[in-house]
């Protein structure tokens, strides 16, 4: 093949984006087995085992792309790597039961460092009642690679997909948003300071909450348990890993409906708001587009919404509209804008 | 912590080896869920879903450690990455039904290159009746990372572990051994030639079989199907990924029994034998320690062995002995030697 021809046939991955690439690569596969209920395209795959449904989710985390060991303690990293996967299982309204953990490690990491990492994995397993059942351990030439698969179970009727939102549903979110993104900004800032003058003390005072949101997120097991206790039926659900806007797009696209979000209803912690302003950022933009909060985004009918206990850590942020109404956000001043899908894209690789 | 103290507390991963490291990191975890039948320590984890058993296996493949894109066509790589995982599921006497495929890619790879990779994944899925149900797609700073999880199903009574070999069992192996290792040696040799003089034509004549053994292995679905058709009960089984010796050690250790292998019974193809000799290697050593053949190693009683059809692609290579007799190999001259566990170790990382 001539050099010229080769050039013509080369499409950069960045031209398609993450979701375009996945569709391009896997769109033609099709499903053959009766037991395969759901394949690519939700938080997790769903397998029918006759009595119970098995739910499977997997994530690949690469050093330098998803985490920076300069400011990420290995125990926290182990804990977070598990949370990221459990969060996907909860987002199906299922219960995680098992995980496999595969790691690729270079000789830069000692056995003691890996022991720290696994102490975080173990803590997560203990607190969330999950068993470590397998994995793969291999060398890497450079960098630390983590691949975790979580396996959960659910009754068929309990499973919750992205595609079943109904017009008139109330859109809800657990916890608060944007904190993890701002926690990361602080850690990145202090890393710069440290690199410029290694003797400087990091300035993390009063930022425990938002730094914790980034370094040690919790999957929202409690929300799923609350749904079961209060007998609440959720129509569509997704976890917020890439940012609220991006996840709203998934629910809207897959349910073929519109969304209307009210800016003043977006839950943001005081710490996150103040930190956003001190970075010269709009707190709302951080709440909409900051990723890694691992909160749950879900929709339910107004009747179901009334069943939420007053103490529930859940906010109503908008409603599901018709497909024609599109995806909108209403600002505090009453103006309605197009909602833009941004979210974190990890697909701008280099070599 | 002082530099000296830090040094004392640093244990190199290579000091423990792969299996020592896994035991060190995961040995204290324990299992909490009733549905978890088998965790770390076999070809796959086993989950009890009431009616059927779910079997889960996962592998992490890193460029430069597990594959070299200089001589590995991407379609072959996609096919082989799936085979490696299906082989683990068959080694449990289970049937693979679903896979998840996660990739980390740098901008060195184009969309067309990834399409090639997925065409290999798709071919494997089609030929083996497996559904692609999920995964994760992310950027990497450098190198191509592949993580595949295979999910299979089995009846509880069919499942076959490493630990249930019985004294007096016949040790069997499917296919032939050492070919993949020698195929790799040829490809490595031709890579050296190519790097020294890029215009040289590769000398691969007559080596199709063994190069194919390395580049495009097949998981032994047919062997599992034959067991079912002939109603043959296998006591212990493992797939040969790290080399026959290493896998014999696993069965022997976990079954707490000895093994006696007869050198003259080891199946080696003529192509592999000739190539070994031309490299100055002992073909038997290649058969014992060469990895990546993805054949099945299993044990069964002499009564079950008689049920094997005469056309079965299976060889009797030895027998299970008492624990006291240890792990032995009898040479053609009748001498008995200690069997050494070698196998491929991917745990000598660098950075």
Q: In the predicted model, what is the mean pLDDT of residues A191-220?
A: 89
Residue B342: per-residue pLDDT: 67
Element (H, E) at B273: helix B270-278
Min mean pLDDT across A242-256, A271-285, B10-24 is at B10-24
Chain A residues with CB-CB distance to B40 below 8 A? 132-135
Check residue A202 and report its DSSP letter. P
The helix or strand, by DSSP H or E, that contains position A162, with its residue range, turns out to be: none
**What per-residue string of b and e applies to B176-203 under the rule 16 or more CB within 10 Å gives b?**
bbbbbbbbbbbbeebeeeeeeeeeeeee
User: Chain A residue with minimal CA distance to B59?
Assistant: A136
Cβ proximity of B329 and B336 under 8 Å: yes
Contact B133, A48 (CB under 8 A): no
Both tokens of A100, joined, read 């496999």
| Orientation angle between helical segments B179-196 and B270-278, nearest 10 degrees | 50
What is the four-CA torsion angle of B113, B117, B118, B119, rounded to 10 degrees? 100
Question: Which chain B residues are Cβ-neighbours of A135 within 8 angstroms?
Answer: 26, 40, 58
Out of B98, B107, B111, whose CB is closest to A45? B98
Q: Tell me phi and psi for residue A122, to 5 degrees.
A: -65, -45
Instruction: Name the residue among B158, B60, B56, B44 with its Cα closest to residue B97.
Output: B56
Rounded to a whole number of angstroms, the distance from the CA of B132 to the nearest CA of chain A is 7
pLDDT, position A8: 62
Q: DSSP assignment, residue B71?
A: T
CB pairs under 8 A between A and B: 308
Here the tokens at position B123 are 């071919």
CA B341 centroid distance within chain: 15
Q: Which residues of A touch B57 (CB under 8 A)?
A: 134
**Chain A nearest CA to B71, separation (Å):** 17
Work out the mean pLDDT of chain B and round it to a whole number. Answer: 92
The distance of B52 to chain A (nearest Cα, Å) reads 6
**How buried is B243 (Cβ within 10 angstroms: 0-12 exposed, 13-18 middle, 19+ buried)?**
buried
Predicted local confidence at residue A346, as pLDDT: 44
Query: B60 vs A25: CB contact, 8 Å cut-off?
Result: no
Using a CB-CB distance cutoff of 8 angstroms, which residues of chain A are in contact with residue B36?
A: 97-98, 131, 133
Mean of pLDDT values over B169-185: 97
Residues of B in Cβ contact (< 8 Å) with A139: 13, 62, 65, 346-350
Q: Is the dihedral of CA A135, A137, A138, A142 positive or negative?
A: positive
In whole angstroms, give the CA distance from residue B282 to residue B259.
22
Nearest Cβ partner for B22 among A137, A145, A151: A137
Do A138 and B346 count as a contact with CB atoms less than 8 A apart?
yes
SS3 of A56, please?
Answer: strand
- pLDDT above 70 (res A215): yes
Q: Which residues of A touch B145 (CB under 8 A)?
A: 60, 62, 104, 145
DSSP A294: -
Nearest CB to B125: which of A29, A65, A137?
A: A29
Report CB contact under 8 Å: B49, A51: yes
Shortest distance, CA B7 to any CA of chain A (angstroms): 10
Note the pLDDT of residue B7. 56
* Reported ipTM: 0.91
Which of A179-183, B169-173, B193-197, B224-228 bottoms out in mean pLDDT, i.e. has the lowest? B193-197
Say yes or no to pLDDT of B4 above 80. Answer: no
Reduce the DSSP state of residue A187 to 3 states and report it: helix
> A298 - beta bridge partners?
A172, A237
Report the pLDDT averaged over residues A104-127. 95
Query: Is the pLDDT reported for residue B224 higher than 80?
Result: yes
Mean pLDDT, range B165-189, rounded to an integer:
96
Query: At A198, is the pLDDT very low, low, confident or very high (cuts 50, 70, 90)?
Result: confident
Q: For the segment B67-118, what is each residue's pLDDT rounded down to a tens digit?
A: 999 999 999 999 999 999 999 999 999 999 999 999 999 989 999 999 999 9
What pTM was computed for the model?
0.92
Contacts of A285 (CB under 8 A, 6+ apart): none
What are the tens digits of pLDDT across the range A34-68?
999 998 888 899 999 887 899 999 999 999 999 99
Q: State the pLDDT confidence band at A2, using cuts at 50, 70 and 90.
A: very low
pLDDT of residue A194: 86
* Residues of chain B contacting A52 with CB distance shorter than 8 Å: 49-50
What band does B8 get if pLDDT is binned at 50, 70 and 90? low
Are A47 and B135 an interchain contact pair (Cβ–Cβ within 8 Å)? no
Q: Give the range among A138-147, A230-239, B13-22 with minimum mean pLDDT.
A: B13-22
If you count them, how many residues does chain A have? Answer: 351
Q: Which of B133, B291, B348, B351 is best to mutate for the A interface (most A CBs within 10 A)? A: B133
Q: Do A136 and B346 touch (CB under 8 A)?
A: no
Residue in B49, B62, B112 nearest the CB of A10: B112
- Alpha helices of chain A — where are they, by DSSP H? 3-8, 13-26, 74-90, 111-128, 179-196, 208-215, 221-229, 244-255, 270-278, 283-289, 302-306
Residue A20's pLDDT is 87
Chain B positions in Cβ-Cβ contact with residue A54 (cut-off 8 Å): 47, 49, 54, 151
Instruction: Note the Cα B65 to chain centre separation in Å.
Output: 15
Query: Which residues have CB under 8 Å from B293's CB, separation 6+?
Result: B175, B176, B177, B178, B179, B180, B181, B213, B217, B240
Interface mutation target, options A1, A23, A68, A111, chain B, most CBs of B under 10 Å: A111
CB nearest A62 (choices: B18, B32, B140): B140
Q: Is B238 exposed, middle or buried (0-12, 13-18, 19+ CB in 10 A)?
A: buried
Name the residue facing A350 among B31, B106, B151 (closest C-beta).
B106
Buried b (16+ CB within 10 A) or exposed e, B226-237: bbeeeebebbbb
The Cα–Cα gap between B272 and B239 comes to 20
Q: Using alpha carbons only, what angle is made at residue B265 by residues B262 and B266, rounded to the nearest 5 degrees?
A: 95
> Which H or E run contains B155?
none
Interface contact B149-A100, CB threshold 8 A: yes
Residue B33 pLDDT greater than 90, yes or no: yes
**Average pLDDT score over residue span B180-190:** 94
SS3 for A225? helix
Q: CA A330 to CA A317: how far, in whole Å?
A: 11
> At residue A27, does pLDDT exceed 80?
yes
| Residue B314 · residue B308 · CB < 8 Å | yes
Nearest residue in B to A52, CA atom: B49
CA B184/CA B272 separation, integer angstroms: 11
* Residue of B52, B88, B111 for testing the chain A interface, max A β-carbons within 10 Å: B111
- Is A102 in contact with B129 (Cβ distance < 8 A)? no
Burial of A72 (0-12, 13-18, 19+ CB in 10 A): middle
Mutation pick from B1, B42, B52, B60 vs chain A, by most beta carbons of A within 10 Å, is B60
pLDDT surpasses 60 at B330? yes
Report the residue from B111, B136, B139 with minimal CB separation from A348: B139
**Cα distance from B120 to chain A (closest Cα, Å)?**
11
d(CA B324, CA A253): 65
**B47 confidence band (pLDDT: 50, 70, 90):** very high
Q: Which residues of B touch A112 (CB under 8 A)?
A: 9-11
Mean pLDDT score across all residues of chain A: 92
Minimal Cβ distance to B136: which of A59, A107, A138: A59
Q: Name the residue facing A136 among B38, B58, B141 (closest C-beta).
A: B58
Mean pLDDT, residues B196-200: 84
3-state secondary structure of B29: coil
């Amino acid at each position: 093949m001539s050099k010229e021809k080769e050039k013509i046939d080369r499409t950069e991955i960045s031209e398609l984006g993450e979701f375009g690439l996945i569709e391009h690569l896997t769109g033609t596969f099709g499903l053959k087995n009766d037991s395969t209920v759901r394949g690519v395209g939700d938080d997790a795959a769903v397998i029918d085992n006759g009595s119970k449904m098995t739910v499977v989710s997997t994530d690949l985390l690469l050093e330098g792309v998803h985490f920076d060991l300069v400011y990420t303690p290995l125990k926290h990293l182990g804990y977070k790597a598990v949370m990221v996967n459990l969060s996907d299982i909860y987002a199906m309204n299922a219960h995680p039961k098992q995980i496999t953990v595969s790691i690729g490690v270079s000789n830069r990491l000692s056995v003691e460092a890996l022991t720290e990492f696994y102490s975080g994995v173990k803590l997560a397993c203990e607190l969330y009642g999950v068993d470590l059942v397998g994995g793969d351990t291999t060398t890497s030439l450079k960098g630390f690679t983590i691949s975790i698969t979580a396996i959960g179970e659910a009754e068929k009727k309990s499973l919750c997909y992205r595609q079943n939102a109904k017009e008139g549903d109330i859109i809800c979110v657990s916890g608060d948003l944007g904190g993890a993104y701002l926690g990361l900004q602080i850690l990145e800032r202090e890393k710069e300071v440290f690199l410029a003058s290694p003797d400087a003390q990091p300035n993390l005072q009063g930022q425990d909450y938002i730094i914790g949101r980034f370094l040690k997120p919790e999957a929202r097991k409690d929300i799923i348990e609350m749904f079961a206790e209060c007998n609440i039926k959720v129509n569509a659900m997704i976890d917020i890993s890439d940012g609220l806007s991006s996840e709203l797009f998934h629910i809207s696209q897959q349910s073929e409906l519109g969304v209307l979000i009210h800016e003043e209803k977006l839950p943001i912690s005081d710490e996150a708001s103040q930190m956003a302003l001190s970075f010269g950022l709009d707190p709302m933009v951080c709440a909409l587009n900051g990723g890694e909060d691992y909160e749950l985004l879900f929709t339910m009918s107004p009747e179901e919404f009334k069943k939420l206990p007053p103490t529930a850590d859940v906010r109503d942020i908008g409603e599901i509209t018709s497909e024609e109404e599109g995806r909108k956000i209403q600002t505090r001043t009453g103006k309605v804008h197009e909602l833009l899908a941004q979210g974190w894209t990890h697909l701008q690789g280099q070599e």
